[in-house]
Amino acid sequence: MPLFDAIADLPVTIDDYELERTSLDVSTGFTRVTTTVVMNGKGLQGRGEDVTYTGSDHDGFPEGLPVAGDHTLRSASAALEGHDLFAAPPEMEASRDYRRWAFESALLDLALQQRGVSLAAAVAREARPVRFVASTRADIGGWIDVDPALEFKLDPEESWDADLIARLAATGRVRVLDFKAYYHGTAVDMTPDPALYRTIATGFPEVVIEDASLEGECRDALRGAEERLSFDAPIHSLADVDALPVEVRWLNIKPSRFGTIERLLECIDACEARGVRMYGGGQFELGVGRRQIQTLASVFYPDTPNDVAPGIYNAGGPRPGLPKSPLPPFDQVGF
CA dihedral in degrees (258, 29, 313, 154; nearest 10)? 70
Q: Helix axis angle, 288-300 relative to 95-115, nearest 10°?
A: 70
Asked if the model's pLDDT at residue 71 lies above 90, the reply is yes
pLDDT grade for 8, boundaries at 50, 70 and 90: very high
Residue 84 has a pLDDT of 94
261 neighbors 232 (Cβ within 8 angstroms): no
Determine which of 3-17, 78-92, 173-187, 197-211 has the lowest per-residue pLDDT on average: 173-187
d(CA 259, CA 102): 8
210 neighbors 233 (Cβ within 8 angstroms): no
d(CA 32, CA 228): 32
d(CA 282, CA 268): 17
> Count of alpha carbons within 13 Å of 65, Cβ hemisphere only?
25
248 neighbors 231 (Cβ within 8 angstroms): yes
The model's pLDDT over 260-307, given as tens digits with 9 standing for 90+, comes to 999 999 999 999 999 999 999 999 999 999 999 999 999 999 999 999
279 neighbors 253 (Cβ within 8 angstroms): yes
Q: What's the mean pLDDT in 73-95?
A: 95
What domains are there in the chain, each with its CATH number?
3-122 (3.30.390.10), 133-315 (3.20.20.120)
pLDDT grade for 20, boundaries at 50, 70 and 90: very high
Burial tier of 130 (Cβ tally within 10 Å: 0-12, 13-18, 19+):
buried
Q: Do you find a cis peptide bond into 326, omega within 30 degrees of 0?
A: yes
69 neighbors 75 (Cβ within 8 angstroms): no
Q: Return the amino acid letter for 257.
A: R
205: left (phi over 0), alpha (psi -120 to 50) or beta: alpha
The model's pLDDT over 224-245, given as tens digits with 9 standing for 90+, comes to 999 999 999 999 999 999 999 9
Residue 29 has a pLDDT of 67
d(CA 116, CA 163): 54
Residue 183 has a pLDDT of 74
Q: What's the mean pLDDT in 179-199?
A: 82
> Count of alpha carbons within 13 Å of 235, Cβ hemisphere only?
27
Asked if the model's pLDDT at residue 316 lies above 60, the reply is yes
pLDDT grade for 188, boundaries at 50, 70 and 90: low
Asked if the model's pLDDT at residue 26 lies above 90, the reply is no
d(CA 125, CA 165): 40
Asked if the model's pLDDT at residue 329 lies above 60, the reply is yes
Q: What's the mean pLDDT in 101-116?
A: 98
Q: What's the mean pLDDT in 205-225?
A: 96
Start-to-end C-alpha separation, the chain = 21
